[in-house]
């Protein structure tokens, strides 16, 4: 084989063309640079993958679930509500004791029961919970606790408030045995005295114009007395005292000033027949009914004392009823 002729390069200089090196079998040897780069890349990516696996394993218990990108609902509630938001502290654990669930607005609970209310602009109505008239045993709220695993300090329901200083106060609670704790006032309160009805339509009733406990309550539950009297009833002694205890400046119990008014007391507290005029059936002067005097003697629209309780015979010409709800 003759040698390769020199090649003339630009500028007049000459260089020899590269000659392949002979092998044992007379073949040329391929260049290995490309393979080296491929193996180098594979090594780098393999090392990166191993690092990710190791890092993921060490962070397994510290990962937080990330929420999806927020999308505004395309429809009004409830169809367009965002699904329930669940916050988890342990991302990869089957049991998540610290998971919290938050329901904003309306939500579907169980077999299609809607929890909460919402305003339907298309019908101008407020939608409410529909338990379905054909199904018995459904509940708005329902929960079961293992009584044997509850302590005396556990509650079936507990509502608290927190002050700016961080102090917690229990406002309402139901204990494991069903005992109810209500801080503050609960129950019916005084709304006023009757002003309509009776023989002369002035809200005063002789016992002969009443006839029973049911009829007495109806004297209060009369819209003619005012809207606050609807669904009201004759006050009991306890309700009057509770109204005084829980009253604030402009409550009716502090602003009403009028005559004595009938109230319910139930059985007599002494040997006298003070039995609500025998259940509002007797006009005898030997029978007595309890009354409350709502005036403090000033007639200035400010009952500063809360009034006083007393009794009167049942043959009185007529008194209004004190009403509570």
Q: Please provide the size of the chain in residues.
A: 325
- Per-residue pLDDT tens for 256-279? 877 789 999 998 877 788 899 999
* Residuewise pLDDT in 10s, the chain (325 residues): 444 444 444 444 444 445 545 544 444 445 555 555 555 555 555 555 555 545 444 444 444 444 455 556 666 555 555 555 555 444 444 545 555 555 555 555 444 444 456 567 778 777 676 666 666 767 777 788 999 999 988 999 999 999 999 999 998 999 999 999 888 787 899 999 999 999 999 999 999 999 999 999 999 999 999 999 999 999 999 999 999 998 888 899 888 877 789 999 998 877 788 899 999 999 999 999 999 998 766 655 567 788 889 999 999 889 999 999 9
Half-sphere exposure (Cβ direction) of 257: Cα atoms closer than 13 Å = 13
What does the domain layout of the chain look like in residue ranges? 85-127, 152-182, 190-324
Q: Cα dist. 122→76, 104, 125, 130 in Å?
A: 10, 21, 8, 19
Q: Cα dist. 154→146, 149, 167, 180 in Å?
A: 11, 10, 20, 12
- CA dist 181 and 172 (Å) reads 6
Structure tokens at 207: 């016992």
Name all contacts of 118-127 with Cβ < 8 Å and 24+ positions apart.
118/77, 118/78, 120/76, 121/76, 127/78
Percent of the chain with pLDDT over 90: 38
- CA dist 60 and 52 (Å) reads 12
pLDDT in the model for residue 118: 58
pLDDT in the model for residue 307: 86
Structure tokens at 66: 């990330």
- CA dist 194 and 55 (Å) reads 78
pLDDT in the model for residue 76: 58
């Amino acid at each position: 084989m003759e040698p390769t002729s020199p090649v003339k390069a630009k500028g007049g200089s000459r260089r020899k063309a590269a000659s392949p090196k002979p092998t044992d079998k007379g073949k040329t040897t391929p260049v290995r640079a490309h393979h080296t780069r491929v193996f180098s890349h594979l090594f780098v990516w393999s090392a990166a993958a191993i690092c990710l696996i190791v890092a993921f394993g060490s962070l397994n218990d510290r990962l937080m679930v990330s929420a999806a990108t927020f999308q505004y609902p395309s429809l009004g509630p409830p169809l367009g509500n965002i699904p329930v938001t669940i916050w988890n502290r342990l991302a990869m654990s089957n049991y998540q004791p610290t998971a919290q669930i938050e329901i904003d607005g309306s939500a579907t609970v169980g077999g299609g029961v809607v929890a909460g209310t919402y305003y339907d602009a298309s019908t101008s109505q407020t939608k409410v919970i529909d338990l379905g008239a054909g199904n018995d045993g459904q509940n708005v709220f329902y929960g079961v606790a293992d009584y044997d695993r509850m302590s005396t300090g556990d509650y079936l329901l507990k509502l608290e408030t927190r002050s700016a200083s961080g102090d917690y106060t229990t406002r309402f609670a139901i204990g494991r045995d069903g005992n109810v704790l209500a801080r503050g006032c609960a129950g019916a309160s005084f709304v006023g005295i009757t002003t309509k009805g009776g023989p002369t339509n002035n809200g005063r009733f002789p016992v002969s114009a009443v006839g029973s406990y049911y009829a007495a309550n109806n004297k209060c539950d009369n819209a003619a007395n005012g809207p606050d009297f609807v669904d009201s009833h004759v006050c009991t002694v306890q309700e009057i005292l509770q109204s005084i205890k829980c009253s604030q400046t402009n409550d009716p119990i502090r602003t009403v000033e009028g005559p004595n008014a009938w109230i319910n007391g139930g059985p007599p507290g002494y040997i006298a027949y003070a039995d609500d005029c025998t259940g509002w059936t007797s006009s005898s002067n030997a029978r007595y009914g309890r009354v409350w005097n709502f005036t403090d003697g000033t007639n200035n629209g400010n009952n500063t004392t809360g009034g006083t309780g007393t009794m009167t015979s049942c043959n009185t010409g007529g008194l209004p009823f004190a009403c509570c709800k």
